[in-house]
Structure 1
């Protein structure tokens, strides 16, 4: 049971320790208490791995590795993993486990920073608005795959344009100076943009249209899956991840075995692993490695804090941090073999270079890879297997984000905790309503805007403030003592140095790099209007402003003079 912290901790008449060091009198949380815990340790591990291993592991890391020097990219990637990724991962797991609170109330350790808890909760909510839509796309493709001939194999469908060109008529000479990945008149490309998104019926973000009924139904299914996975807390979600967290590994292995049997697959793998140390002279490579390791591990979204808050008090979260962060990064690297074996096959089939078919994001998993699958014997089976993998990759990551919102707010507002099932439904239904904007004809523009601004600079800013709050205000020494109370040993000097100096410096570097490299928003050849970028920054600021506003509120709500508060 958590012991209550005195409402005012005074030094003379000073209330300083109330909101900077109020946890100095807090005792170690007892392993007993009324807080729900994971049914089994494996439930927690699979939930963390399932959250961290998401679609980006498949559609972003392999391409970044290929683009940034192949094997050479692993040098900055591994460096940032060791000096920042793992320390931040460890910090969040320990923070949640010791205090047994969600992302907001965990800041009883240093109340002036509670605003950052609300920041990450709001960001997790924003991400759910559009991430669920990507899962709905996967579900749509899964349903569409259940046919004898895949609908994106040939032209002459109702959604195809007059310019649609069958893949067998496209080769290096036809492309000229272009690349196959950008050749948007193949059946697979037109199925994605015209058959699924209906992008051709929108003139831009100012012309959204009504929600598409088929995508809306898929979105309804996704939201119901999320609700019934989360409505009973970790007792229910901890069982769902047995499927959603393990299925992608089975499918990736199966796809890899099939991929390496295809002609040209070895050329694709060679291109993926090709080592070019000269690329390390480019600052962009280091920025890509830093941002990828940060987003890949998922620190700062409040999910790790929420998940670990349901651990038993003496759980070895140090070992968990090392294990799960390593599994996540190895998965990213491994997925590249499954992806590039197929890209090598595509390159040989069309007599082009691997770089002409290599791409990232939705274009890879909804256009290039499905097109390759459509040419294989038993294509229906391979398509179903692939989209089941995408579906499970997305579901458990979305579950993690929604759990961060639910845990964070139910811990803060007891009325919500008493009505968790109703609040879970309200949260799921709320994300569904906003997500409807993303399943309109111009929905991809809304999704792109949210992806850029809702979880871009804002989440980097949030976790930077979080790291500063823990390391510099609550104090590394006090935090280390908390860990010793849980596990019987203090973190080594390396971890303490990372928390206090290296990780904040890393985050500051990523924040600055993200800001400086952020230009006007674009989707392919479409440039967003100026007002859309202003709206995007408004979305970003709506979460970030919780940090200063709550600090100001706390500052003025605590009695005492300015000198007494600030000394």
Structure 2
């Protein structure tokens, strides 16, 4: 049995898991999804999804990592040797996400600097797409390197390297003990100030006013489940890797529930923060909140800077907002790189320092392509297909494998051995029926939409090269890695 590093404390593990789950999507995706799908009424399917999919899936992944003490490929090889490839598909997807996620964090770092003097000016859209990104007309037209972005991406990878290279206890745990409490504190300070501005309550009314007619629309329920899966970092190896460093008598069920509830609580705080800002902006500009609401990159780098321009003390609001985005991004990036690194370490027995350093260097080299004028266009396609095809595919296959092929009894027994509350038939039913049906629907409907309506209006060649090719290539590489000779400890589990 090999010695495996452990978290220094339960709080350290939970903060690291929360740091992985809380990412940019909590801040710029959840508020708009909630508003678009019934406002206050959206919390009904959202909480239902949390209880029937989020917590059960998190318990399963924590249980897998804890029982087999390994990364996703190692764990899946333990439950069924034929399915090690699935773990590698998850890890390859995670590696791809790490590459482009670093570019977005680089943008937040640059914008943190811009907040000090309002460098984005009055035309925030023109500044972002033109002066800052130097956006080209095609993903294949790279244009020149944008050096401020290049430098910020180098800093992002450097911070991630520092945390992951230092190990679980001295690196990742220590970083998350600083980043996550500070992130919550800054969000609360931001909310405490912005909620007093004229129009802020209008934004909150707009977000939380319930439209219960939406509850009869199945797509709203699918959106709730989709948000739960996207925001919890489940289904692509991170939580399996993190839980593998837990001590033998760790409370799996409680840890999973706490992680999920904290993540979803932060999403709610983010909704309050964002729509308070949008309400204030609408009040200042004389527009309706619906006219300024949005999500994603446009919200973070165009709408919010424009809103900050209309506020008193723009330096205060701009600095805190982009510092929050940066910390949320870095904590998630650390977890993604750790999931990839732990898999290579487990498989080939290479030292942590060599694996982390190599991956960060290669990852930064690939990220540098996204610092060119075509960066946003490439990122948009890769991100869309990675999230809606690769992650959903691997999560769906994983849950079918565990709940229908392998069975959940062994994991349930291990989870219940030391947890404060036990999981039983309802937990198994949620995974075997509810989660499989919702994930299956989301994956197949998304696949059908992409086939019938080309994503984003991009040329077919670009979509095939940067989008459709990702999953087939990931599966081929995963099968190759499964056949490679494992490190002598790869099949030895504690």
TM-score range, shorter chain: over 0.9
Matched residue, 1:336: 271
Q: Residue 84 of structure 1 contacts residue 506 of structure 1 at CA under 8 Å; is this kept in 2? A: no
Q: CA deviation at 1:294?
A: 0.9
Q: Find the counterpart in structure 2 of residue 397 from structure 1.
A: 332
Deviations 1:90-138 (A, max 9, x none): 1000110111111111121211111110011000000011100010001
Give the one of 129, 141, 144 matched to 1:207.
141
* 1:540 alignment partner in structure 2: 471
Q: Which of the residues 74, 83, 93 maps onto 1:105?
A: 74
Note the C-alpha offset of 1:505.
Answer: 2.3
Deviation at 1:348, TM superposition (A): 1.5
Q: Any idea what the Cα deviations from partners look like across 1:318-354, whole Å, max 9, x if unmatched?
A: 0011111011112111211111111111112121111
| Superposed counterparts of 1:117-128, under 5 Å | 117-128=87-98
For the residues of structure 2 that align with 1:262 and 1:320, how far apart are their CA atoms? Answer: 38
- CA distance 1:57–1:489, change in 2 (3 Å): closer
> Post-superposition shift, 1:445?
0.5
Are residue 189 (structure 1) and residue 157 (structure 2) matched?
A: no
Detail structure 1 runs of 4+ shifted over 6 Å in the superposition: 547-551
> Which deviates further from its counterpart, 248-257 or 539-548?
539-548
Q: 1:267 deviation in Å? A: 0.9
CA distance in 2, matches of 1:484, 1:278: 40
Say if 1:287 and 1:513, in contact at 8 Å, map to a contact too: no
Pair 1:493–1:282, CA change in 2 (3 A): closer
Q: CA deviation at 1:224?
A: 0.5
> Is this contact kept in 1: 2:195–2:201, CA < 8 A?
yes
Conservation of the 8 A alpha-carbon contact between 2:121 and 2:127: no
Q: Secondary structure at the match of 1:245?
A: helix
Q: Which runs of 5+ in 2 are unaligned?
A: 485-494
Q: Which residue of 1 aligns with 2:435?
A: 503
Pairing 1:376-387 to 2, within 5 Å after superposition? 376-387=311-322
Q: Say if 1:152 and 1:547 are closer, same or farther in 2 by CA, change over 3 A.
A: closer
2:459 corresponding residue in structure 1: 529
Aligned residue number for residue 6 of structure 1: none
Q: Distance in 2 between matches of 1:128 and 1:331?
A: 22
**CA contact under 8 A between 1:458 and 1:541: conserved in structure 2?**
no
What is the SS of the residue equivalent to 2:407? helix
- Contact 1:120/1:462, CA 8 A, preserved across alignment: yes
Q: Where is the helix percentage greater, Structure 1 or Structure 2?
A: 2
Deviations 1:182-240 (A, max 9, x none): xxxxx1112211121111xx221121123211110111111101100110221211000
Q: After superposition, give the CA deviation of every residue in 1:270-317 in whole Å (9 maximum; x if it has no partner).
A: 000111112223333222212111101111120000000000011001
RMSD, matched Cα: 1.9
In structure 1, stretches of 5+ residues that fail to align are: 2-32, 155-186, 555-567
**Counterpart-to-counterpart distance in 1, 2:100 and 2:71:** 23
State the TM-score, normalized to the length of structure 2. Answer: 0.93
Equivalent position to 1:151, from 119, 122, 127: 119
Deviation at 1:496, TM superposition (A): 2.1
Contact 1:188 1:367 in 2 (8 A): yes
Aligned to 2:260: 325
Matches within 5 A, 1:267-416: 267-414=202-349, 416=350
Alignment partner for residue 136 of structure 1, among 84, 106, 122?
106
Picking from 254, 261, 280, the partner of 2:196 is 261
1:96 aligns with 2:28: no
User: In the aligned structure 2, how far is the partner of 1:109 from the partner of 1:342?
Assistant: 48
Q: Distance in 1 between matches of 2:219 and 2:429?
A: 26
Note the C-alpha offset of 1:356: 0.2
Structure 1 residues 488 and 289, CA gap change in structure 2 (3 angstroms): closer
Tell me how far apart the structure 2 counterparts of residues 541 and 292 of structure 1 sit (CA, whole Å): 25
From 157, 163, 171, the counterpart of 1:223: 157
2:32 and 2:235 map into 1 onto residues whose CA distance is 24
CA contact under 8 A between 2:143 and 2:372: conserved in structure 1? yes
Distance in 2 of aligned mates of 1:484 and 1:258: 44
Equivalent pair of 1:142/1:388 in contact (CA under 8 Å): yes
Q: TM-score, normalised by structure 1?
A: 0.81
Secondary structure, aligned partner of 2:6: coil
Of structures 1 and 2, the larger Rg is shown by: 1
The corresponding residue for 1:244 is 179
Aligned counterparts of 1:221 and 1:82: Cα–Cα separation in 2: 38
SS, match of residue 286 in structure 1: helix
Verify the 8 A CA contact 2:163 2:175 in the aligned structure 1: yes
